[in-house]
Amino acid sequence: KAGVTQTPRYLIKTRGQQVTLSCSPISGHRSVSWYQQTPGQGLQFLFEYFSETQRNKGNFPGRFSGRQFSNSRSEMNVSTLELGDSALYLCASSLAVTHNEQFFGPGTRLTVL
Amino acid sequence: AQSVSQHNHHVILSEAASLELGCNYSYGGTVNLFWYVQYPGQHLQLLLKYFSGDPLVKGIKGFEAEFIKSKFSFNLRKPSVQWSDTAEYFCAVNRNDMRFGAGTRLTVKP
């Protein structure tokens, strides 16, 4: 079974730009969660989607948004990028809601210059 | 605020030493508990999980963890570490959503 895939793997953007990251969950998984990973901060929860609905949201500004499609693929968007948005963005999928084990993708490394 | 705390930021051990990494959480009620590991250059992967039942859970690669409800703790242990255990370890707690600790970097010296 193919794992969680994320595209692109690396991105370089400048301040003020916007970016869209994509995540394809494991086949059959309907829940997708997004995290921001930075050194010393660990993984910060962004949001979780289940059946195209945002189920939970972490403490991030409205510049961070996401969506999920009917095939469970998910995208997250960050608008008006700031230097502090540089991070590894991780996507995780699970069969149902997050009470289940989450399977992580390799992440998208975003650098904001 | 509800949180997950990992006490050690960086642990350095020699091979064959015993390991215990601390994890405490501040959520009340029923929670599900996880330990994930991130080896250098690899994805996060699950080491072990606790949902209910026996509070001592065994995971992959000889790791185990004990859930102590009264202490809100879920510490990770391994009796004898190997150089290949060098990685970053994350404790996670799920109640309504998944929250992770800041991670503990483990370096095992050969």
- Asked if residue A68 has pLDDT above 70, the reply is yes
How confident is the model at residue B29, as a pLDDT? 82
Q: Tell if the CB–CB gap between A58 and B97 is shorter than 8 Å.
A: yes
How confident is the model at residue A1, as a pLDDT? 66
Cβ partners under 8 Å of residue B24, min gap 6: B4, B5, B7, B71, B72, B73, B74
CA–CA dist A43, A23 (Å, integer): 17
- Asked if residue B58 has pLDDT above 60, the reply is yes
Interchain contact B99–A (C-beta under 8 A): yes
Buried-exposed string A56-81: b where 16+ CB fall within 10 A, e elsewhere? bebebeeebbbebeeebbbbbebeeb
Which one has a higher pLDDT value, B8 or A2? B8
Rounded to an integer, the average pLDDT of A55-61 is: 91
- Asked if residue A40 has pLDDT above 80, the reply is no
CA–CA dist B31, B28 (Å, integer): 8
Rounded to an integer, the average pLDDT of A21-40 is: 93
How confident is the model at residue A98, as a pLDDT? 54
How confident is the model at residue B75, as a pLDDT? 97
How confident is the model at residue B1, as a pLDDT? 56
CB atoms within 10 A of CB A46: 22
Q: Which residues of B touch A42 (CB under 8 A)?
A: 6, 90, 100-103
Q: What percent of chain B has pLDDT over 70?
A: 98
Q: Provide the strand spans (E) within chain A.
A: 5-7, 10-13, 19-24, 31-38, 42-50, 53-57, 64-68, 74-78, 87-94, 103-104, 108-112
Interface test with B, best of A55, A57, A99, A109 (most B CBs within 10 A): A99
- Asked if residue A97 has pLDDT above 60, the reply is yes
Rounded to an integer, the average pLDDT of A52-74 is: 94
Q: Tell if the CB–CB gap between B46 and A58 is shorter than 8 Å.
A: no
pLDDT tens-digit map of B12-54: 999 999 999 999 999 878 889 999 999 998 999 999 999 989 9
The answer, yes or no, to whether the previous bond of A8 is cis (omega within 30 of 0) is: yes
- Asked if residue B4 has pLDDT above 60, the reply is yes
CB B85 within 8 A of CB B106: yes
How confident is the model at residue A104, as a pLDDT? 95
Indicate the SS3 state at residue A55: strand
Paired tokens of B89: 């370890």
Q: Tell if the CB–CB gap between B100 and A33 is shorter than 8 Å.
A: no
Interchain contact B49–A (C-beta under 8 A): yes
How far does CA B13 lie from the centroid of its chain? 16
Paired tokens of B88: 């970053």
Kind of pairing, strands B4-6 and B23-25?
antiparallel
How confident is the model at residue A2, as a pLDDT? 79
Which of B36, B94, B101 is the closest to A99 by Cβ? B94
DSSP state of A26: P
Q: Name the band, by pLDDT with cuts 50, 70 and 90, for residue A42.
A: confident
Rounded to an integer, the average pLDDT of A33-48 is: 90
